[in-house]
């Protein structure tokens, strides 16, 4: 949280902390007598320190002006800040310009008594962003002593706090001036981050609870609704965090289950495919064997067909021969030939039909085998389709969860405040 009087350099300091090396003006900086910060501003900044990124909610507020202010006025201004500090503050930067004025001392004491408590000094750093020799440690120390020794009360206060000197000059003007000022801002940022890294603990202002009751009378309708809104936002954030944790757990569980399922499925598929391959090979061999058998049988049938044809020819010849009268000898011979031919013919017909029957049996066996092979192929295809559909369902589920998590992360990334 940044406090200090108008135009002292709070917003500029906040921009210096921002990760962007261009020092983008996230917080409006004071120009020519016009206060840049009209209202309390709080922004979450990503701050790079070494190789790590930190997120800070920076609360920039105009708690008091250059002149004396009434307690009521001050309370009214602080009211706007309270919703942001209920979860605690990492650090309070009290910004001054080269000396700690009487007015600043009064304002600080007012803050301490109204909203904070005596512990505030342990969590306060005095920042002087107007010190051009800020990289010279001896000069900084001397200036620190000078500020501390200005009055006794201040000396007690500054014993428990640190004074950090930086220089956060304006980035307006010619490019060579801007370049030089950017360098000063960079070095200042390093110094501030090193200090922040050393600051431990979170400060929970002790008077915050009673402060709310004290100040209630001074609130306008608009402020009351703002407070309610922020309170609701806080509750929503807690709910979202819980939801996020739940989703994360669920996601991890689901991903674990998916992995397990995939492993099991892969193992099963390997076994199944191996069995199927062996079975298929056996069936194919059987098919080959039957095919050969069929071919042999076909050849045998055609041979028999030829013999039968000869037998029939012989019978016809015998019949014709016997029909020629007066040739008795020839009759005897032809009778014998006819008998033989009829015998061979009959035998051939019987054998051919037997072979044909065998041929059809083999053929139907072959067809059945083919059917089995096709069914196996279909089953395998069906299983693969099921597996693919299941996988798609899992992917969609996991993607939906990831989206929800992303939504939570985008809507709440605040960890600490300054
Ligand atoms: N901190 C600092 N500011 C300087 C210096 N020289 C010029 N400035 C200018 O002083 C002004 C400080 O303004 P802000 O950072 O907006 O001050 P503020 O405390 O946020 O003011 P309010 O928003 O009115 O409360 C800026 O325009 C700075 O560029 C310097 O050496 N140090
Ligand atoms: Mg400002």
Domain ranges of the chain: 2-219, 259-382
CB under 8 Å to 113, separation ≥6 — which residues? 207
Which pairing describes strands 52-60 and 162-165: parallel, antiparallel, or unpaired? unpaired
> What's the whole-number mean pLDDT along residues 170-192?
92
Q: Ligand 1 within 6 A of 98 CB?
A: no
- Enumerate the β-bridge partners of residue 174: none
- Ligand 1 atom nearest to CA at 95: 19
Q: Ligand 1 within 6 A of 165 CB?
A: no
Q: Ligand 1 within 6 A of 61 CB?
A: no
- State how far the Cα of 166 lies from the Cα of 137, in Å rounded to an integer: 11
At 339-375, the pLDDT tens digits run 777 777 777 778 778 878 887 887 888 788 788 878 8
Chain position carrying tokens 């072979």: 355
User: For position 416, what pLDDT does the model report?
Assistant: 41
Q: Ligand 1 within 6 A of 12 CB?
A: yes
Take residue 362 and report the two structure tokens written for it: 């083999």
DSSP states of 242-266 as a string? HHHHHHHHHHHHHHHHHHHHHHHHH
What is the rounded end-to-end Cα distance, in angstroms, of the chain? 4
User: For position 319, what pLDDT does the model report?
Assistant: 67
Q: Ligand 1 within 6 A of 143 CB?
A: no
**Under a CB-based contact definition with an 8 Å cutoff, are residues 12 and 168 in contact?**
yes
User: For position 135, what pLDDT does the model report?
Assistant: 95
Take residue 301 and report the two structure tokens written for it: 């049938």
Which pairing describes strands 41-49 and 52-60: parallel, antiparallel, or unpaired? antiparallel
- State how far the Cα of 143 lies from the Cα of 162, in Å rounded to an integer: 12
Which pairing describes strands 124-128 and 162-165: parallel, antiparallel, or unpaired? parallel
Among 8, 62, 165, 171, residue to substitute to test ligand 1 (most atoms within 8 Å of Cβ): 8
Cα-to-centroid distance, 40 and ligand 2 (Å): 9
DSSP states of 55-119 as a string? EEEEEE---B-SS---HHHHHHHHHTTHHHHTT-BS-EEEE-BSB--HHHHHHHHHHHHHTS-GG
- Ligand 1 atom nearest to CA at 35: 24
CATH number of 2-219: 3.40.50.300
At 389-411, the pLDDT tens digits run 877 887 888 888 778 777 767 66
Take residue 187 and report the two structure tokens written for it: 């070095």
Cα-to-centroid distance, 396 and ligand 2 (Å): 47
**Under a CB-based contact definition with an 8 Å cutoff, are residues 131 and 164 in contact?**
no
Judge whether residue 34 has pLDDT over 70. Answer: no
At 91-106, the pLDDT tens digits run 999 999 998 888 888 8
């Amino acid at each position: 949280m940044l406090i200090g009087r108008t135009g002292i350099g709070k917003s500029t300091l906040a921009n210096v902390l921002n990760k962007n090396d261009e020092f983008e003006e996230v917080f409006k900086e004071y120009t020519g007598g016009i206060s840049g910060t009209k209202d309390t501003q709080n922004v979450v900044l990503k701050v790079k320190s070494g190789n790590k990124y930190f997120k800070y909610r920076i609360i920039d507020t105009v708690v008091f002006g250059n002149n004396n202010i009434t307690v009521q006025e001050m309370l009214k201004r602080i009211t706007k800040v309270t919703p942001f500090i209920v979860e605690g503050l990492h650090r309070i930067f009290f910004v001054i310009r080269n000396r700690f004025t009487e007015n600043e001392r009064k304002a600080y004491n007012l803050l301490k008594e109204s909203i904070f408590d005596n512990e505030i000094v342990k969590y306060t750093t005095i920042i002087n962003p107007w010190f051009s020799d800020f990289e010279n440690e001896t000069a900084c120390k001397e200036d620190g002593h000078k500020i501390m020794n200005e009055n006794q009360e201040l000396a007690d206060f500054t014993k428990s706090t640190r004074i950090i000197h930086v220089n956060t000059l304006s980035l307006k003007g010619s490019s060579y001036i801007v370049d030089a000022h950017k360098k000063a801002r960079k070095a200042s940022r390093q110094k501030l981050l090193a200090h922040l890294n050393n600051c431990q603990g979170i400060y929970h202002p002790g008077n915050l609870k009673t402060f709310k009751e004290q100040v209630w009378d001074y609130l306008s309708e608009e402020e009351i609704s703002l407070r309610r809104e922020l309170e609701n936002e806080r509750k929503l954030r807690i709910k979202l965090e819980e939801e996020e944790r739940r989703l994360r757990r669920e996601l991890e569980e689901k991903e674990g289950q998916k992995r397990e399922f995939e492993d099991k499925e892969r193992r099963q598929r390997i076994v199944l495919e191996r069995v199927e391959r062996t079975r298929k090979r056996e069936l194919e061999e059987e098919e080959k064997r039957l095919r050969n058998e069929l071919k042999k049988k076909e050849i045998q049938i055609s041979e028999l067909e030829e013999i039968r044809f000869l037998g029939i020819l012989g019978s016809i010849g015998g019949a014709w021969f016997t029909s020629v009268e007066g040739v008795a000898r020839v009759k005897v011979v032809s009778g014998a030939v006819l008998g033989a031919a009829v015998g061979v013919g009959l035998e051939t017909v019987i054998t051919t039909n037997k072979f044909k029957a065998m041929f059809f049996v083999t053929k139907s066996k072959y067809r059945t085998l083919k059917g089995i092979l096709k069914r196996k192929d279909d089953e395998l295809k069906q299983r693969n389709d099921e597996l693919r559909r299941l996988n798609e369902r899992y992917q969609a589920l996991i993607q939906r969860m990831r989206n929800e998590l992303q939504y939570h992360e985008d809507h709440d990334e605040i960890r600490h405040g300054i």
